[in-house]
Structure 1
Amino acid sequence: MALSPDLSFLTPDALQDDEPKRLAALQSYNILGSPPERMFDDLIDLARLIVDVPIAYISLIDSDRQWFKTAQGLEVQETPRDIAFCDHAIRKKDVMVVLDAHQDPRFRDSPLVTGPPYIRFYAGAPIITPDGYAVGTICLSDTKPHPDFSGTEELAALARQAAALLELRRSLSQQAVAARMATDQRDRLWDNSLDMMLISRPDGQIIAGNPAWEATFGPIGDNGGANFVDFLAPSEERIPPPMVNGQKDIQVEHEMVNQNGETVYASWNLAREDDMIFGIARDITRAREAEAQLVHVQRMESVGQLTGGIAHDFNNLLTIVLGNLDIAERRLGKDETQRALAAITNARGGANRAANLTQRLLAFARRQSLSPVQINAGELLDGLMPLARQALHGGIKLTLQIAETLPSICIDPGQLENAILNLIVNARDAMVENDQQTGEIALHANEYHLSQEDAETVSANASAGHWLRLCVSDNGSGIEPDIAERIFEPFFTTKPSGKGTGLGLSQVHGFIAQSGGFVTLKTEIGSGTTISLWLPVDEGEAQSVERQSDSTNDNAPAVSQQQSHHILLVEDNEAVRAHVAELLEEEGYDVISLVDGQAAVEHLQSQARKPDLLLSDIMMPNLDGHGLASWVHDYYGDVPIILMTGYAGGEMPSDSPHEALITKPFSPQDLLDAIGNALQPVKAKAAV
């Protein structure tokens, strides 16, 4: 059964008494002065069936007149508003009836009563808009009085129909205007669009193409053109994609050949209606070229960033190698064979670690295929920490929280290191972008045995089994949900232009998946983010391996120390710190060795004796060499300062106080000469 339309809007709850808004409602219909229309004439014919009268009309009340949209029995098109019966009728919601105008003080002196058309009887129903404004009336009039009138309900119903006709008329008018505008816009879009537009048959036969298509592939004749597949590159499938009627949003990319024989990459959006295919294409040739260039630039930038990042550690290792070789040479000259051999052993260890760093760089730069080997995950993470810390500024702290024993895993170690570094750098960048001056990034590692039920809870990509979970967590601001669901998409990035390519996290995700694992993300606004790398543990190969940390050679013979100038040595690399301390102590200096600038400040604040010289590395966690040098200069202005650096990039701050800067790797003699020169003023002062 058909449903009746909802016409409740034609009977508003109350009549609105606001003349400016009433006039605006009338003007919105754009009907004043319009020619006759049959649908309004029909309402007058129906009104005269209620009672036999000579005069019937529809009156619209303007600011100073009543205008008749349609009328029977009247010779005029309008009359002044101040003499109109209808001006009174629009002031109330009910039908107004005047049985004898001669007896009504409101109208007995009206020109419409005393003169043509000599009205004696009047019945008028207000035409009320859906917003409650009476814009006019539908009326019945007679030149003689009536004893009564029983047609108020019928006349009110016709008034509601008149209101409905006004609404319908306005709607149809708006639709006609919109249709004309749409046609004009479609024509303009077809003619002026920079995107190519094409209409073809389902078999690919071209019917029409817009100017953008013709500019690229040549004109289409009046009777249509060639087949779409004729413009595809030889490497493309030369069969149009099958489409059913009504199918929309089919997206395909094609390599095509333009009218000049050049390769064009086009991204098409296709839709089918009946026997016609409508296609819109965007030329993405430049985007493809830019994408290839971007990948190349990103690869080179990554190599550059990693090279700069490991330069510090690499030069530290060279310092160990060269310094121990120099010591060995001097000890051999004194027939101290055992001590010389110990120095050579230390040099060999440093050289081996440098070789490992070189291999790490080469593996990253070549982006070679995976070379999985069985590794000790704990040792890999220990070795990665110094490099990772180089990527962080002083306000962000990196901690390592892993079990003493972890299962060995089979994976490409270079790619795993790169993945972890990528996550740490992303966490750092997120904090920087949110103006977070301090924070903490933690690297966790634990093993898990997942049941099938646990796996379903962890991730849709997880499965039951033995897993090693590596997590990078930060206490930053978290990731918005709409961004979190896209962070592993290639080329998606929230960083400003030129600051990121959007490839890093997608590479991490792809590498872990290729290694048989999966990645999970946990984030909460205001509470930080954790990205976990789940790596499979081969039960046949797995064994718990205890972590071994690099340390200096405990068998190296001790050297007698002489009390002399007091030197404060600050260096975060344990091996370099031990090597330099041994060198200085062997020369008779009194050396205090500390791990970073913060430890040095705390030591100096707790000691009454000030140092005779500060020898400090520049790049260190917590407080770097520049900050430490400034602090020492402020508190002990006469203490000479020598800074050491193994980092190839960056600039020296112009206000950094120091007497000398030594670049790693350096020879022991170069260091001793620099210290001797820096201490000359101290020696001269002591002699006075």
Structure 2
Amino acid sequence: MKTPGKHPEEARRLAALETLQVLDTPAEDGLDGLTRLAQAIFDVPIALITLVDDQRQWFKSCYGLDVRETHRDISFCGHAIANDASFVIEDAASHPDFADNPLVTGYPYIRFYAGHPLRPQDAMPIGTLCLIDTRPRTFGPNQQRHLAMLAAQADELLRLHLLRVEEAEKNAEIKHLSSLLRGILESSRDPIYARSLSGRYLTANRACLNALKLDDGPLTPGTIEASTIEASTIQDHLPAPIAERLAAAEQSVIQLGEPERFILPPFNDVVFDVTISPLRDSKGEIRGTVGVAHDITSTQRQAALLQVLHQGITDYQALMSGEQLWEFLMEGLQVLTGSDYALIGEVIDVDERHALKIHAITDLSWSEESRELMVQLRNGDMTLDNPDSLLGQVFAHGETVMTNDLAERTHSGGFPHGHPDIHNYLGVPIRDGDKVIGMYAIANSPQRFDKALLDWIEPFTATCALLINFYRQQAQRENIIAELAAARDQAEKANLAKSEFLSSMSHELRTPLNAILGFAQLLTNSRKAPLNQRQQRQVHQIDKSGHHLLGLINEVLDLAKIEAGHLQLSLEPLSISSLLKDASDILAGIAENAGITLKTRPPEPDIAVFADYTRTKQVLLNLVSNAIKYNREAGTVSLYATLTDARVRITVRDTGPGITAEHQTELFEPFQRLAAEHSTIEGSGIGLAISRELIEHMQGTIGVDSTPGQGSDFWFELPLAANDATQAHRTSPHEQPTPPRQTGRRLLYIEDNPANQRLMEDIIEDLEGFTLQVVPSAEVGLELIRHSPPDLVLMDLHLPGMDGYQALDTLRRSTSNADLPVIALSANTADDDRKGGQNTGFDAYLTKPIKISRFIETLARLLP
């Protein structure tokens, strides 16, 4: 097809655009699979294969966009087409040429764009493979190279489209060959012949003889009868299977009067697509048959190559999960080249030298010793590191090694006795940029190894580079997950051992303390043998020291319980006025005995925090007790509360000696008393550490502000409760309602982070009537939902593979689970992210770290 007035290459480009615009073939699925793969690899919401002419841009394959075409004047792809090069804009909103573009200011709100031109016919570009995101992002050289690799696959798919069109047009022409045979017989490159009803060859063109590798034959223009060739010119040169297949097809055509089309077995390394039609006279009577053979060797090889590459990329995860990827690639390499032997491996560094780790290899064993070697190579227990071998020249030096006569190669080194005969060899390095990351090798192929074969198989080499990088990324991720799991298991074992030890020690220590404190009480209160003043003083000291030791044991066990994750909290609205009054009443006598003035200033009006009553009072009593003990003589301790945003700060101020800045960071560590361990003031150094753990478990913070010589402010902050303070807790934690009970509610948590998984398991464990199931990916979660829908889904947004937004979109498009409640969990706390999550369709959007109170309220709302 040629457009008048156009440059030949421009006319060719426009013809290809016209063909691709209307063509709809099974390979269309390949283009859609490629755009989905590009979207997943680069983690962008939109991936397109575009076609661009002088007026408009339309999408041959579209993933993540509702429209199918745009005007060329506003298209980004036009720039990649015009420059015939990759085109990247990392933030269109700040780009002077694109900031006002309607595709930036309006739907689809493009911020990031990366496009690579498509040239399926090695002529002028006709379109692009492009990536689009609504957020700015960076796009480095490695990512551009990977995009170019995927664009090469798109070129192959589009080229296959055009080849199919070309073949379809040829097939249409074949139907008219019987009437045009006299004029075009000699000009045809396809083998053409005619036979009579008796089987005698009436004519055969030069292409037919060339296919048979015959040098001559009488082929003069004129009537068909004038160009007859005896059967002993043709028939004797046809292999029996081919001659029998042709004869059977001719008999069928003569009997049925309909053409028959079929593919012959390879003949002289060529594959023919043959069409046999009835040869009719002017009256319409069948006089014989006409056969036309079309050489499809190149097309078949190209289609086979494309199939291997397409399946390797699109089925990568399934092949990798079944540990079949490398065997699949090796077997595909053998089929494509007809080779008896092949291997594919990864280049790794061992002792600062390049070595080859075999991933797949054809069995070359010839003895028991060689069989054991093959097993070691296949299992990855052995690597190859000889840089001077045939393989070493490839993986160690990055050379392409090609020979069609291995026996004459002077540096081949020879093979051991019994080794299978190898007559030709091709070793090809697999590169990522300038770095050799792998190699493959083939041997004993029926075809000669040459540069044409190397160029033809280059897409396979590029795909292997892409897959090796994917493989390494997945292996690295699996190693990190394994290390995290091992660290978690080790920590759990250590915590368990510590808890068991402390529990045992508690029992062993409490038993003698029970006797010590019990007899001390008997001695003190004995009426039959009352103690004198000196003995009373001594027993009092025993009792005091015993209770101090008992308190220390309780604090150590309390800290261990918190660290082991066994702390039970009952979170509820808690009145600040009541909390300050309780603490003041309890410690008023101690302050008076120590000569310290205790002042309390409750907030007016009263306010409430969301916290555990017992544990909050424990923290406040600890801080006030410390303020009394470490104060100056006749000093003052003040208690007051202040409100900031959605949090309440409770402060304990003392007039003591103060704490230096370098010592303030050590205060909340266990067993840290600074210089107080040398004083007469009793203490364990654990109270502040316990207080920090308790406050943080209630979603709060704790700290100190101090000036040496002037005193210290110890404070902690807790979330403000939404309830009216007048209805908040004032006397006992048991007077307030606990989280709502549910019956048999099943939750599904989709999260890949082990630490977050464990946190959610602990949270749900404290709630009655709920069960939790955890899965690490959206793909697994959706499959589980399809078979066994839960009552509610908790969805992390940043997941491997399909992210939370894509998973929600898939779920909402299903007919059976479209209304399933889904809560988004994300570390993104910005208002735009929260609003975006809610607008996307999530029923709720909660930020990490999770506020347990808000989480419980959300569950109660969605599961009434």
TM-score (norm 2): 0.22
Higher helix share: 2
| RCO comparison, higher one (Cα < 8 Å, 6+) | 1
Q: Which is higher, the Rg of structure 1 or of structure 2?
A: 1
TM-score (norm 1): 0.27
